[in-house]
Amino acid sequence: MPNGEPVTKDEMEQLFAANNKEMERLFATKADLDQALTATKSDFKQLLTDTKAEFEQLFATKGDLDRALATTKGDFERLFATKADLASTEGRIEQLLADQANVILDAVDEKLDEKLDNKFGTVITKLDGVMKELQTHREEDVFGASQLRRHDDQLLDHARRINTLETSLASGS
């Protein structure tokens, strides 16, 4: 066999006999199948009773779940906030948030005023100087305009007098 020679009938029977026991252990025999098929109603009832008892030990029943739920509900109410608890604290939280927002806004307002004063203080000071100079120019313009009107009035008066003198000289000559 191992060296490539043909297998004899005896060798085959020995091989089959050695593997037959292993095959019987691994696979169901015809007798096993016949016995399984001839199970009676009482066999199935017994199997069902045994299986039910095993299931009750392995899995939770309705009673088990009801007891666990009652215990868990009490634990939840003790450990976690309820809607009533949340509703009672809602107003306090809103007030705290509003107070905090007001404090922040006041701080920002003060900071902004301070920065604006620092930035625009010099600009305002320089604008004050420019405005004073502009006011001075306006006053000079008003004064100059009134002086110009007086000069115009004097020129008109002089022109009338010169005209009167010229007319009297031309008629007297």
In a domain? residue 36? no
Q: What is the number of structural domains in the chain? A: 1
In a domain? residue 96? yes
In a domain? residue 47? no
In a domain? residue 137? yes
Which pLDDT tens digits describe the chain residue by residue (173 residues)?
A: 556 788 888 888 888 877 777 777 777 777 777 776 676 778 777 777 877 777 777 777 788 888 887 877 777 777 777 787 778 888 888 889 999 999 999 999 999 988 888 888 888 888 888 999 999 999 999 988 899 899 999 999 999 999 999 998 888 76
Structural domain harbouring 160: 53-172
Q: What's the confidence (pLDDT) of residue 155?
A: 92
In a domain? residue 25? no
Q: What's the confidence (pLDDT) of residue 63?
A: 83
In a domain? residue 27? no
Q: Among residues 80, 61, 60, which one has the least CA distance to residue 72? A: 80
